[in-house]
Structure 1
Amino acid sequence: MAQIEPGTGNIGAGVELSLQDKCALITGGSRGIGAATLRLFRRAGARVAFSYRAAAQQAETLATECGGAGVCHAIQQDLLTPADGEALIAASVAALGRLDCLVINHGIWPSHDAPIGSMADEQWRETLGTNLDSVFGLLRAGVAQMQRQPVHAEGTRGKIVLVSSTAGQRGEAFHTDYAASKGALISMTKGLSTELAAQGIAVNCVAPGWVHTDMSAETLADPLASKKIGSTIPLGRVGTPDEIAGPILFLCTPWAGFVQGEIFNVNGGAVLVG
């Protein structure tokens, strides 16, 4: 990263978190944390592609809101296998021309309790396929694309942010499939950050706690469940998608140039009391 000289700039003018002229892919970008991240990346100047699975009208409306053709591309792509992940990288590079930032945000969380003694093979395979196997394909193809690209002026080839969960750090009873997949993302972050640092590719992770999204809406709407969840969060509330999108943006800017292999906890202090 280019040195930021002390005393330069207009004092009081604000600090810019810019992704001007950068190209980013955000998976699972049509709603929740993904949509909030998409909007923030566009405000920061990035050209963006994002994936969606089924909500075509919602995705197209969001793409139009964020600038439409040329700067924001909605790509329909199931994400269940490594080949699915590789196909999404290819489609996004075709749309954008290159890949500077890869935000792996998609995932599923089966909301019903599933004791390990009776968890169905189908649930295990679908959760691990979506949350982990497709991520392998995204990373394999995404890293290869970044390695082919020239080094940017700030000395980097690309930024990768994986979105994990508090469940990946401390486990989650009756949701072993989800916790296992999210814990794997944390281990992948640590290993890949060491593997790729010398090549100018930064790999970091954001680990949210409970956040108001479509995925968590049913559970949070239950008064008893909501009260129990709130009691485990020192701040006394769940987060918003924007509060997760902000740290993701930061990790993709030059201001995070010396951050590598970090697990960025965004959970209202929940892990500290877990």
Structure 2
Amino acid sequence: MLSSGGSGVTMSLAGRVALITGGSRGIGAATVRMFRQAGAKVVFNYRSATKEAEAIVAECGGAAVCRAVEQTLSTPEDGAALVRAAVAAFGRVDCAILNHGVWPAHDAPIAEMTSEQWRSTMGTNLDSVFGVVRTAVAQMKIQPKAQAQVGSARGHIVLISSTAGQRGEAFHVDYAATKGALISLTKSLSTELIGEGIYCNCVAPGWVATDASAGVLSDPVVSKKLLSLIPLGRPAHVDEIAAPVLFLCTPFAGFISGEIFNVNGGAVLVG
């Protein structure tokens, strides 16, 4: 909903239901909080962080407006099951945020990378994304538009890619390949779905300060090298990623589809 007045501009998602993958920590948790602050009901999944997930649900208003689903995402069937759980919880899915993913922290030269690592990364970062997107789009097509939606928007999909998907990442080719595929998937979905009022965009972060990146960013030698490649000189805060995701699901982004929204402190400049 678009709103402006004496109190400023409001990005409201009242009446919407958002499904956010990987929502128990890091970027996902920040996105869950921000979507709830915008008025959306939220369903998010977690794999093993039960206490963290329960704490976020409580913080965000309880089960009446926020649900955590224990669901591993490594196959298309896993993704489909999560969408069904979201529909069972709140009756619909208006926004699907594909935030989950794995980044094997150890360096793996291509000549030494195991088939098991390749398949595992592909399963989590790509196969399960396909399952969520396929099932969410099918749901968006059959459900009535949310009353609060403006214009032709029937649904929103936001994929979380990475700078690695744009410039590659040596010794992490499995991760970079999946994130590059998400960029291509964004463009393909936009071309296919925008005529039906389903928007698909992508947010591509650079380094973000999270639990997952803490080990790398706390290493004085490695972090100095990484931060030297970021003109802004620091990693992003999780809210600086969650906010663009939220924006892309509002009518303020009503003329944006198929876009790769780069949030990287100036590290990768692409048009």
CA contact (8 A) 2:4 2:10 kept: no
Mapped pair 1:68 → 2:65: no
Matched residue SS, 1:215: coil
- CA distance in 1 between partners of 2:98 and 2:199 (Å): 14
Letter in 2 for 1:114: A
Mapped pair 1:114 → 2:111: no
- Give the CA deviation at 1:184: 0.3
Instruction: Trace 1:208-227 onto structure 2 (pairs within 5 A).
Output: 208-227=205-224
Mapped pair 1:203 → 2:200: yes
- Give the CA deviation at 1:13: 2.2
CA contact (8 A) 1:26 1:34 kept: yes
Deviation string, structure 1 residues 97-123 (Cα, Å, up to 9, x no partner): 100000000000011110000001111
Mapped pair 1:127 → 2:124: no
Aligned pair partner of 2:48 in 41, 54, 65: 54
TM-score (norm 1): 0.95
Letter in 2 for 1:149: Q
Aligned pair partner of 2:156 in 147, 155, 159: 159
- Give the CA deviation at 1:9: 4.9
Letter in 2 for 1:256: A
Counterpart in 1 of 2:254?
257
Matched residue SS, 2:108: coil
Matched residue SS, 1:235: coil
> RMSD of the alignment, in Å?
1.4
Matched residue SS, 2:11: coil
Deviation string, structure 1 residues 30-88 (Cα, Å, up to 9, x no partner): 00000000000000000000000011111111111111111000000000000000000
Letter in 2 for 1:133: D
Instruction: Trace 1:1-274 onto structure 2 (pairs within 5 A).
Output: 9-10=4-5, 12-152=6-146, 153-154=149-150, 155-272=152-269
Which consecutive aligned stretches of 4+ in structure 1 deviate over 6 angstroms post-superposition? none
- Give the CA deviation at 1:270: 0.3
TM-score (norm 2): 0.96
Letter in 2 for 1:201: I
Matched residue SS, 1:114: coil
CA contact (8 A) 1:151 1:200 kept: no
- CA distance in 2 between partners of 1:58 and 1:32 (Å): 11
- CA distance in 2 between partners of 1:271 and 1:9 (Å): 33
- Give the CA deviation at 1:242: 0.5
- CA distance in 1 between partners of 2:269 and 2:52 (Å): 37
- CA distance in 2 between partners of 1:15 and 1:103 (Å): 23
Deviation string, structure 1 residues 206-229 (Cα, Å, up to 9, x no partner): 000000111111111110110001
CA contact (8 A) 1:169 1:183 kept: yes
- CA distance in 2 between partners of 1:94 and 1:21 (Å): 16
- Give the CA deviation at 1:149: 1.3
Matched residue SS, 2:55: helix
- CA distance in 1 between partners of 2:145 and 2:244 (Å): 24
Bigger mean CA deviation after superposition, 144-153 or 40-49: 144-153
State the percentage of identical aligned residues: 66
